[in-house]
Amino acid sequence: MLSFARDNWRFTRDNGRWIGGGFLLTLFSSFGQTFFIGLSGNDIRATFHLSGGAFGGLYMLATLGSALSLPWLGRTLDLMPGWKVARFALPMLAAACVLIALAPTIVLLCIALYLLRLFGQGMMTEIAYTEVGRWFVANRGRAMALVTPGIMLGNAVLPVAFVLLHQSIGWHGAWLVSAGLIVLVGWPAILALIRVERVPHSSEAGSASARTARDWTRGQVIRDPVLYLLLAGTLAPPFIGTVIFFHQGYLIELRGYDPLAFAAAFPVMAVTTVVFGFVCGHLVDRFGALRLLPFFLAPLTIASLAVGLVTPLWGVYLFMLLLGVSNGFTQNLMGALWPEVYGLANLGGIRAITVSAMVLSTALGPGITGAFIDWGVALPTQMLWMAGWCVVASLSLGYAARKVRVREADRRDLGVRV
């Protein structure tokens, strides 16, 4: 264990610039993540006189627009360095924070939500994961494990900070403070760190994560049936996590939880995510992402059952603990999976497709579940359905992983014969 920690420290020290830049990108993606937007969900609903289903539908519309825009905007990462894309994306994210605080109409609120989702959840994570996937080869899993805790730091710190700001200066002021942090801290720090490109060493070629597939084009990826089998499983975590974060106000009211006690459960998820992120990173570098696919949804299955069946406050902490285990595997696995399946040459455009699908799942989640809530189907009941989805999705992922391994083995055998 001690040697493992020393090894990680040396790796972080030698690659601090790129790890730090990726970490900050994922941290500042928090301002466009559902867990952060959901913190002011009840205030937005009250301000614009929206029901849970109406707000969910509006959020779904904005996120759908983001999902449709992301494949085109994400392609810029194949055409220019990541720091140039970040130079534009961060100010746009800050502008979205200002707009949501000051929006006088529902139309402008929808535009603000669209920009938050596109430049926060979408482009911040897209830049981080694409650049790290290119910068690191043999240690891709380890690098992802060090970068993705930025999201968890946001989960741990920002909910409590937002609640405290809300109590002192209101939810409008909390969003304006967020915009200031992005412009004054995130923008200059991230550009300074990622402006220098990292070129993988020629010696980085021995581990499972270094074995990338042949380089697919975006058109070939879209026509590949395996992509949709993989998405059927890999979209479950963002869908389910978004549903809980978005409807946290509803769940607090339904079960009579204290809002601050609920917010205090986020650090449990954050710490667990970081710990299991390193576990997953080690396993990815040793075995490859494909071999882990059939098993990574097991914690999320149990977490969904916990929300559905456990009503006391400790059930929230149990859910957050299990969701942290799931997130630790999901975030690192998704960073390493797509280079293994589709190669590196068009990674920006391909990741834009997968991130767009992820954003789409987070768009559908609040809208669909909000409609069911309006129709009288309580969220805990819906979470039992989602546990069943995880079981079926695990079977789909196992089949897809086997298909990828078989076709790559056939390709290598054909290369040898030729």
Angstrom distance (rounded) from CA 315 to CA 311? 6
Q: Is the separation of the CB atoms in 78 and 215 below 8 Å?
A: no
Task: Give the number of other Cβ atoms within 10 Å of residue 217's Cβ.
Answer: 14
* Residue 50, CA atoms < 13 Å, CB-side half-sphere: 21
Whether 350 maps to a domain, the answer reads yes
Whether 343 maps to a domain, the answer reads yes
Angstrom distance (rounded) from CA 380 to CA 393? 20
- Which residue has 């975030």 as its token pair? 331
Whether 360 maps to a domain, the answer reads yes
Q: Is the separation of the CB atoms in 174 and 165 below 8 Å?
A: yes
417 pLDDT exceeds 60?
no
pLDDT digits (tens, 9 = 90+) for 238-296: 889 888 887 888 888 888 888 888 878 888 887 888 888 888 878 887 888 888 888 88
43 pLDDT exceeds 70?
yes
pLDDT, residue 8, reads 63
pLDDT digits (tens, 9 = 90+) for 58-96: 888 888 888 888 888 888 888 888 889 999 999 999 999
Whether 336 maps to a domain, the answer reads yes
pLDDT, residue 41, reads 85
Q: Mean pLDDT throughout 88-115?
A: 94
Is 79 strand, coil or helix? coil
Q: Mean pLDDT throughout 200-205?
A: 51
Distant-in-sequence, close-in-space partners of 262: CB < 8 Å, separation ≥ 6 = 248, 251, 252, 313, 316
pLDDT digits (tens, 9 = 90+) for 344-402: 777 777 877 887 787 778 778 877 888 888 888 999 999 999 999 999 999 999 998 88
**CATH number of the domain that 157 lies in?**
1.20.1250.20
Query: Which of 84, 116, 90 lies closest to 103 in space, CA to CA?
Result: 116
Whether 206 maps to a domain, the answer reads no
Whether 291 maps to a domain, the answer reads yes
pLDDT digits (tens, 9 = 90+) for 137-179: 667 777 877 887 888 788 778 888 898 898 899 999 999 999 9
pLDDT, residue 173, reads 94
Give the chain's mean pLDDT. 84
Query: Which of 4, 3, 2 lies closest to 279 in space, CA to CA?
Result: 4
Structurally, how many domains does the chain consist of? Answer: 1
Whether 1 maps to a domain, the answer reads no
- Which residue range forms the structural domain that includes residue 183? 16-195+215-407
Listing DSSP states for 272-293 in one string gives: HHHHHHHHHHHHHHHH-HHHHG
Flag whether the pTM goes above 0.95: no
3 pLDDT exceeds 60?
no
Angstrom distance (rounded) from CA 341 to CA 408? 9
Whether 11 maps to a domain, the answer reads no
Distant-in-sequence, close-in-space partners of 115: CB < 8 Å, separation ≥ 6 = 92, 93, 95, 96, 99
Angstrom distance (rounded) from CA 240 to CA 98? 28
